[in-house]
Structure 1
């Protein structure tokens, strides 16, 4: 299969998070190593923040864990075993945050170190302050959604008050039948399911209260550590992330540098500069993906030339034909005719 088709699977999560899954399994009498192996992962990953699990790998581990345990709310169990260190410097920086607002803003800026499966943002309206997680990757396990949001609540209880109770909690996952009370117990409020995004909303009046454990110097040191690791991640995968966004937006006929930059939470100029340091450009990557996908589609007789043009983001068939001729020296129809590929 062509690499372009696999790009949507490459969003990663810090692998040390899976240590909490291991502990949750073993505490309940299950063989974690056997479950990880059954999920296609040969070992339980270690604490290196550059050691990452893909969305598909993490989903496979959770799928096997739920199958063995029979617990559809297994993610809530995992949250109880998540130490702040499971997300490396991000966890320790959250503990040293000077206020709940400071902690939430840190999640907005640095969540990528923990996971690329979503993007955080903050909304304030009236007396409500909402931390919102937009899940941006397909195939994210429901248990990941449960575990992460329950973990954030635990962090807030550690740094603010043990009895911290949000005003409301929303999750993008559907409700597992018959166990709504488990979620209410975990989050201390009834949970809204099947929401368009994940939200933890709290009283606006409390988010700027100074936290007794806050330490700006320690938090800043961990911020610098995170910036170093994120820069390393960017160096390793900025091209993959751009290609993944291109694949996502191509059929919309609006696959522009501006839209892709927005998807990656940066300006078009910043994107251009990052790619330039790697001796490539947005247009180069767009052409690579189009050509790669076009060669795959050409082998699929059920995909017409007209449909192919649309799937590759061209405004019309003639534009696609000109591009294809540049790539191969032949028109799409001649290319298929030579290979006896009947539409």
Structure 2
């Protein structure tokens, strides 16, 4: 499965909650080997969720860390999705707008709104494994946000969580203000459908158009970066097999080669440059971190002849592979 990413805004949200709870968030970052305030820029690997929650739990001394921090989450965080809500005519319209751009927060989040008579249900799906602390924190963030957007009119009726093992039921009720079902078939938040028609005091059609245009641009950027990550991953995979060409990668992506070239150009990169960059980084890594013979490195980086590899490496680095390895080992 390809690498998935989350927006750093989710991490900032948790760090704010840590600070509000009286815990220095830099101590959590230090457990992860990050400097004070050393947040990644833009997006970070979804796989980092597990070590982050483990570090936060250890630093706070809280077994139910996601649920614990849900108490300290701010109602608003300055996210673009919040502005989509506020500038929409009604809460329901804002919710539907925000759901279209949920991928801005995480590539793993997928949600839909279901309305059945007087009951509304927000169904959430997570497209990758995640510690239970994340959905427990996220549910708290959603409930606080919806309450703030509706000036307290939003009231959850029930919450369903897929994990079977969690906190005591009374603790969930205290934090969320509603009953919680563990071991459910889905993540779902149930509430009164009437709140969807609640008018927004901040409704502004002109601002809504601006916010949607900005959301579309940001989503387009996420999709471009996602494509580059997919191509980089396929280049690494194909070089181990038979060499990576534009046609081979485009076939794996089920996309015409011309279309792939055009989309990469829109992302500001060229396919051949991605191949060269991967070969160079892989060659440096193998030379410095292993004792593999040069002949093996030649094969693993997709070259057919050692002489071709030597010339390319000298062009990339300014010295031969042997010179680079000797200098790096000292």
> TM-score w.r.t. structure 2 length?
0.65
Per the alignment, residue 12 of structure 1 pairs with 5
Q: Secondary structure at the match of 1:207?
A: helix
Aligned equivalents of 1:200 and 1:89: distance in 2? 22
CA contact (8 A) 1:95 1:155 kept: no
User: Equivalent residue for 1:182?
Assistant: 171
Alignment: residue pair count: 255
Shift of the alpha carbon at 1:83? 4.3
Give the alignment partner of residue 31 of structure 2, picking from 35, 38, 43: 38
Pairing partner for 1:135 from 123, 126, 141: 126
RMSD of aligned C-alpha atoms? 3.6
2: distance between equivalents of 1:32 and 1:143? Answer: 17
Structure 2 residue 263 is matched with structure 1 residue 277: yes
Q: Once the 2 structures are TM-superposed, how far is the Cα of residue 201 of structure 1 from its aligned partner?
A: 1.8
Question: Which is greater in Rg?
Answer: 2
Q: For residues 78-117 of structure 1, what are the alpha-carbon distances to aligned partners after superposition, in whole Å with 9 as ceiling and x for unaligned?
A: 3344446646312222233322221321232011111112
Distance 1:219 1:81 in 2: 29
SS of corresponding position for 2:159: strand
- Gaps spanning 5+ residues in structure 1: where? 1-6, 246-259, 262-267, 280-326, 328-343
Distance 1:135 1:242 in 2: 24
Q: Counterparts in 2 of 1:257-268, with a 5 A limit?
A: none
Q: 1:15·1:45 contact (CA, 8 Å) conserved in 2? A: no
Q: Residue 160 of structure 2 contacts residue 186 of structure 2 at CA under 8 Å; is this kept in 1? A: yes
Query: Which residue number in structure 2 is paired with residue 25 of structure 1?
Result: 18
Partner of 2:160: 170
Task: Provide the C-alpha distance between the structure 2 equivalents of 1:101 and 1:274, rounded to a whole number of angstroms.
Answer: 38
Greater relative contact order, per chain length (Cα 8 Å cut-off, separation 6+): 1
Residue 136 and residue 90 in structure 1: after superposition, are their counterparts in 2 closer, same or farther (change >3 A)?
Answer: same
Distance (Å, rounded) in 2 between the aligned partners of 1:148 and 1:186:
12
Q: After TM superposition, list the pairs within 5 Å mapping 1:251-330 onto structure 2.
A: 277-278=263-264
1:146 counterpart (136, 143, 148): 136
Provide the C-alpha distance between the structure 1 equivalents of 2:83 and 2:118, rounded to a whole number of angstroms: 29
**Off by >6 Å, runs of 4+ in structure 1:** 242-245
The unaligned stretches of length 5 or more in structure 2 are: 235-251, 266-301, 303-330
- 1:211 pairs, out of 183, 187, 200, with 200
CA distance in 1, matches of 2:83, 2:145: 10
**Distance in 2 of aligned mates of 1:90 and 1:101:** 13
2:298 alignment partner in structure 1: none
* Alignment equivalent of 2:214, drawn from 225, 236, 240: 225
Q: 2:156 aligns to what SS in structure 1?
A: coil
